[in-house]
Structure 1
């Protein structure tokens, strides 16, 4: 009787490239489909109908508050260039060093489950990338402030860890450790973060503060928005705030990848804010792409998302909510 032999099972790994190729082809087909073209085209017409934001003025002092390194570039690299071209002075403050992205640290530091030192090393690397991006956008070192509080922990600082230091479960740090921080070694408390933001406001004396909108999906962004509103209203200067969004809803912005000739459309989570359009020149768009690409730790994993912000315009809202009345039965 002939001996039966089992057919060798194909390795699952052999199918992964094929599966990845099929998924990529389907995604590309969807992005390039007529339906997406119609959606993007309709949104483009809406962007064109938005009012233009008031121009920056010579002598103005403009402060960008960024939750993480790269947010300032995604939201506002074009505006920062426009402000400087108009003769304004531009400043940036980063609330965190972006040390909470574990997958990023796994790739960058080549460790399976990054914790502690690997993530602190990532924070130092991202802080260095932030300084490079700011330099590309024309800002001298004295115009940047790294605060260095825990990535992913700002809401805890704002609430339960306002007075007592918060220990990051990712880095293990309970104090600011990033070289060049505004107050190195200070405990990670909400009180210390608020004091640092107050120091930045005292030094810059901004005429305009560009801050994340409270509708942004990321909790660090929302928390920094609340802090900015509280501090500026406490100074009687809430009218100097302007708002932007980076995490604006599922799949926004579309299409993913680099499309510099396309408009940046209003984010779904903040669609009803009174957005204004900031048009960019081709040179400003090109410089924004260089600043985005300086964040190599991020673009290797999130490049298609980040490049989707390199568009012919940026968006800014003069207020954090839409107070205009709506007809009954309309959408939210």
Structure 2
């Protein structure tokens, strides 16, 4: 596992945190190192963590809370973040609070994109950012607005290294934050507005019972500790560990309910996944020569998947054979059956120079009993649904293959991809979101 080094002459650091405390748990030592080397550092909080009901109830000592109380809790968490980062050496001016809805980022990503379809937080009772201490107060809760905020901040700050929550994280806000960052970066790249192409590192904070242990070093979760994922580490000295612990104690509202979990991040090191954005190219002449992107997924890491291996996705393969034909292959641990269904979701992002920059393909596949085929259901979505030209499937033992008709891809673009499996309408497996650079 290679170490992360910070260059005081060329680096500018940015940490994107879905909630207040994620930045400290994942990067508390690294932030101190950057400050010690006079490296410009910024922390961007996508939400205030105002919807952590368990912690809010403990804080206010009431079983039922009003919308106003949840907003008060969000302000409290903002102040805790300011105090914690001050302990690490960062001033209030180094912090961005965006104020988007806690436990709502996945819905902004999937359904509530445009301003005519605004998300409502059932915790704060608001459809807009209710906080004064934020980047843009009264900002409507939509995915498009979040992307615009991130592109503005990235263009202003020009970070060389970005640390972001991982798509492998169990918390929906965390994998959604990863997608929003890459969507913002992709827009800037496609429009030739990205001044610096940053190195990106993913951090984990939620993965089952990980990282609670008695180890002095924090190690990758067993299901992600393989030769496919490239891990990197940052080592903390004793002084940095002590300061990180002191800063953590500023998060009093969180320590009341998750003390053991939070303290498990005070170790000799911090670990990160080196981000891997791959390219998918259209073959120049012979479609048979098309490049296949293969992604390995964790298997048998939960009781449900061990009991239902036919829905445990172990590998994904993507290939582009023609400008309007994408092949998606899902390979499961054992033979599929009609008891399982598979949902495939694709976002296609193209340059702003095209008429429609954003397209969505969302459908489910259910294998048919005693047949080498499967049934298809196109799912409605609230924004930018693409009418697929053609979806075919091949069911061979443990392989589900879909041939998807896409809009003609004549310009560079990006593909965001996720697959899920279901057993009796309950999610059995969910792959981490993949970001693919389309080269045409």
The answer to whether the superposition gives a TM-score over 0.5 is yes
Partner of 1:17: none
Partner of 1:183: 136
Say which of 37, 55, 69 aligns to 1:104.
55
2-structure distance, mates of 1:278, 1:85:
15
Partner of 2:175: 222
1-structure distance, mates of 2:87, 2:273:
25
Partner of 2:204: 245
Contact 2:163–2:201 under 8 Å retained in 1: yes
Partner of 2:224: 270
C-alpha displacement of 1:294? 0.5
1-structure distance, mates of 2:268, 2:82:
24
Cα offsets for 1:32-77 (capped at 9, x unmatched):
xxxxxxxxxxxxxxxxxx2222334334210000000000000001
Is 1:280–2:231 an aligned residue pair? no
Contact 2:237–2:268 under 8 Å retained in 1: yes
Structure 1 length-normalised TM: 0.78
The alignment partner of 1:142 has SS state of helix
Contact 1:213–1:225 under 8 Å retained in 2: yes
Contact 2:169–2:204 under 8 Å retained in 1: yes
Is 1:309–2:265 an aligned residue pair? yes
* CA spacing shift, 1:325–1:67, aligned 2, 3 Å: closer
Partner of 2:26: 75
Partner of 2:12: 61
- Name the structure with the higher helix share: 1
Partner of 2:377: none
The count of aligned residue pairs is: 276
Greater shift after overlay, 195-204 or 310-319?
195-204
2-structure distance, mates of 1:181, 1:109:
23
The alignment partner of 1:235 has SS state of helix
2-structure distance, mates of 1:316, 1:57:
20
C-alpha displacement of 1:320? 4.6
The alignment partner of 1:172 has SS state of coil
Structure 2 length-normalised TM: 0.59
Cα offsets for 1:196-217 (capped at 9, x unmatched):
1122212211111111111111
Q: How does 1:284-303 map to 2 (within 5 A)?
A: 284-303=240-259
1-structure distance, mates of 2:54, 2:259:
14
Is 1:153–2:111 an aligned residue pair? no
1-structure distance, mates of 2:136, 2:198:
28
Partner of 1:167: 120
2-structure distance, mates of 1:239, 1:206:
6
Contact 2:148–2:184 under 8 Å retained in 1: no
C-alpha displacement of 1:109? 1.4
Is 1:201–2:154 an aligned residue pair? yes
Contact 1:242–1:317 under 8 Å retained in 2: yes
2-structure distance, mates of 1:265, 1:319:
18
Contact 1:136–1:290 under 8 Å retained in 2: yes
* CA spacing shift, 1:271–1:64, aligned 2, 3 Å: same
* CA spacing shift, 1:67–1:268, aligned 2, 3 Å: farther
1-structure distance, mates of 2:138, 2:271:
36
C-alpha displacement of 1:238? 5.7
The alignment partner of 1:65 has SS state of strand
Structure 2, unpaired ranges of 5+: 190-195, 279-292, 302-313, 315-440
- Name the structure with the higher strand share: 2
* CA spacing shift, 1:325–1:101, aligned 2, 3 Å: closer
Contact 2:101–2:141 under 8 Å retained in 1: yes
C-alpha displacement of 1:281? 0.7
2-structure distance, mates of 1:229, 1:268:
26
2-structure distance, mates of 1:325, 1:106:
41
Contact 1:252–1:268 under 8 Å retained in 2: no
Contact 2:165–2:178 under 8 Å retained in 1: yes
Is 1:126–2:54 an aligned residue pair? no
